[in-house]
Amino acid sequence: MRKTETVAEIRKIFDAVYPDVQCSLNYKTPLQMLIATQLSAQCTDARVNIVTGPLFERYKTAEDFANADILELQGYIRSAGFYKNKSKNIIACCRRLVDVYGGEVPDNMEDLLTLAGTGRKTANLVLGDIFNKPAVVVDTHCIRLTNRIGLVKEQDPVKIEFALKKIVPEDYQNRFCHQLVMHGRAVCPARSPKCSTCPIQAFCKKIGVKGGK
């Protein structure tokens, strides 16, 4: 079975099992999505959501973050880890948003990648969830599951992103990545995956007979 066909079959199952998927980070605006995603590096989404509650009450606009006192900002985000580097990036990012983009989050990869603390993972999440554009978000779940299933044989996130773009339809890319997160948490964790009860086992190279070719 070709990889595009494997994806089509997995899509049918995932859409039935995980019909309602969305980013697990709490946000109300494109800026909040951008900041929350930056904070999520090496941190759980649950912890980030605890941090961003009071953070977004204190800082409401790009101008607020751009003009923030760095020590005060560090106090708000300390428990998210790497708070010194993250605070520097957030301030630098928002200064560029104010100076170059009128305080608004840009809607394309090229511009997003010019923002401090914003890599392809963050940019794709913003593009997919905020601007409804085709986007492949390669996180740890995506890397683990796509390799196990046999859709890719790569560990490099950028190579995985472009490999998946070739086999996952544009209208499914963003949803597929969110479904991988849900499946990774519920069924296919790094240790002790629940292969015997996995709904896509027949299409998984790890244990199935149809996938990964």
Active-site residues, by number, are 121, 139
Instruction: Tell whether 43 is in a known binding site.
Output: no
What is the Cα Rg of the chain in Å?
Answer: 18
> Longest Cα pair distance anywhere in the chain, in angstroms?
57
Distance CA 162, CA 136 (A): 8
Instruction: Tell whether 188 is in a known binding site.
Output: yes
DSSP state of 106: P
Distance CA 44, CA 111 (A): 26
Instruction: Tell whether 204 is in a known binding site.
Output: yes
What number of other Cβ atoms are within 10 A of residue 109's Cβ? Answer: 15
What is the C-alpha end-to-end distance of the chain, expressed in Å?
A: 6
Does residue 104 contact residue 121 with C-beta atoms inside 8 Å?
no
Instruction: Tell whether 195 is in a known binding site.
Output: yes
Task: Classify the phi-psi angles of 109: left when phi > 0, otherwise alpha if psi is within -120 to 50, otherwise beta.
Answer: alpha
Does residue 130 contact residue 108 with C-beta atoms inside 8 Å?
no
List, as residue ranges, the binding site for [4Fe-4S] cluster.
188, 195, 198, 204
List, as residue ranges, the binding site.
188, 195, 198, 204
